[in-house]
Amino acid sequence: MNLVKYLIKHHEYNVIKLDNKWYPIDSTWGAGHIEEKKFIKSYNEFYFLVDPELLIKTHFPDNEKWQLTKKKYTLEEFLKWPLVKNSFYLYGFEKYSPEEGVINLTDSNSTKFIVYGKDMSKKTGICNIYLLQGNVYQQLPNLSYIKFYEDKFEVDCIFNQKGKYKVRIFGNSLRDQPNNLDILEYTVNVSNDTKNKLSFPKTFKGKEDINIIEPLYNGLKSGEKIKFKIKSNLDKIIIIDGEWHYLEKNNKGYFELETIIKSKKGESVIIGKSKPPNSCDYLATYDVI
């Protein structure tokens, strides 16, 4: 067995040779992680004999030889990727999209990020968006909406004004865990202000039970014809718009409803699940304008 040690951004890790094949080992990242400036012991075997094609996303060696990847990457390529945190692999996430870490929006004020992995229905994710104001990034509320699937979660984001944004995606391996660690960070540059300010429907506890496909954005017009399309593991859902619509899945696995919005301006349209004996738990609400 041969041992090679090298330095990457003030961080050392090892490479060992087993059966004529080289493997990276990062015992520091494998021992735990930093949370609120404290080191948390948390053994993660991922960083022992780790796949070089994954490690290159977070570790860039001074010597190209020790990338150990099929393709050799330049530092410029490495710096264009999003910032991938230790917790990304700690919690079993595998891939992300887009692969470029800097997104430039010139004719749109929305974009989508996707995180892939196994057993994603057991995991959770949230997203925070920050706008650079002066020299400080200020967090802006309610600019992201996450849809959960078996093999991924999708993060739709909106940016209503020109500027430079940081998009930080947090995750956890278990839905019932209270703390999420940041797993990815992107930069988004928006060239133009938008006249039509977008927002997402308001969501409540249990929102993970539904994936709203249509309409994705808040602000439904009274009298407008709307198609609702929702993906969910629930057996039934309810849409309340002046009257209660009890929906069941169609043969494609979606809850769908075409309707004319009956609620008046200033009222709300509600998506929920039934609660005995004859009430409804809110999952999401739309404002009527």
In terms of domains, do 243 and 169 share one?
A: no
Residue 150 domain flag: yes
pLDDT at 262: 96
Residue 246 domain flag: yes
Residue 79 domain flag: no
Domain extent, residue 273, equals 202-287
pLDDT tens track for 85-99: 878 887 889 899 999
Q: Are 144 and 170 in contact (CB under 8 A)?
A: no
- Residue 198 Cα distances to 78, 137, 192, 232, angstroms: 33, 21, 14, 24
Query: Taking the C-alpha atoms of 202, 204, 209 and 215 in order, what is their torsion angle to the nearest 10 degrees?
Result: -10
pLDDT at 77: 87
Place of tokens 């133009």: 192
Distance CA 13, CA 6 (A): 6
Number of neighbouring beta carbons within 10 Å of residue 1: 6
Best CA proximity match to 23, nearest among 6, 4, 42:
4
pLDDT at 2: 40
Residue 195 domain flag: no
pLDDT at 1: 36
In terms of domains, do 214 and 249 share one?
A: yes
Residue 238 domain flag: yes
pLDDT at 145: 95
In terms of domains, do 232 and 268 share one?
A: yes
The structure's pTM equals: 0.81
In terms of domains, do 57 and 100 share one?
A: no
Query: Which of these three, 138, 155, 190, is where a domain ends?
Result: 190
In terms of domains, do 179 and 221 share one?
A: no
Structural domains counted in the chain: 3
Residue 186 domain flag: yes
Average pLDDT, 10 consecutive residues per value, the chain (289 residues): 44 88 88 76 82 86 90 89 86 91 93 93 91 95 92 95 96 78 94 87 90 96 97 94 95 95 97 88 96
Task: Cis check for the bond before 98: say yes or no (omega within 30 of 0).
Answer: yes
Q: Are 236 and 247 in contact (CB under 8 A)?
A: yes
Residue 38 domain flag: yes
In terms of domains, do 176 and 218 share one?
A: no
Q: Are 182 and 168 in contact (CB under 8 A)?
A: yes
Half-sphere exposure of 271 (CA within 13 A, CB side): 33
Q: Which residues pair with 270 in a beta bridge?
A: 240, 285
Distance CA 47, CA 24 (A): 8
In terms of domains, do 107 and 179 share one?
A: yes
Q: Which residues pair with 117 in a beta bridge?
A: 93
Query: Which of these three, 160, 190, 220, is where a domain ends?
Result: 190
pLDDT at 161: 93
In terms of domains, do 221 and 269 share one?
A: yes
The helix/strand/coil state of 159 is coil
Alpha-helix runs per DSSP H in the chain: 27-31, 52-55, 75-80, 86-90
Residue 262 domain flag: yes
In terms of domains, do 210 and 274 share one?
A: yes
Q: Tell me how many helices (H) and strands (E) the chain has.
A: 4, 23
> CATH number of the domain that 244 lies in?
2.60.40.10
pLDDT at 85: 84
In terms of domains, do 54 and 127 share one?
A: no
In terms of domains, do 186 and 206 share one?
A: no
Tokens describing residue 89: 């692999």
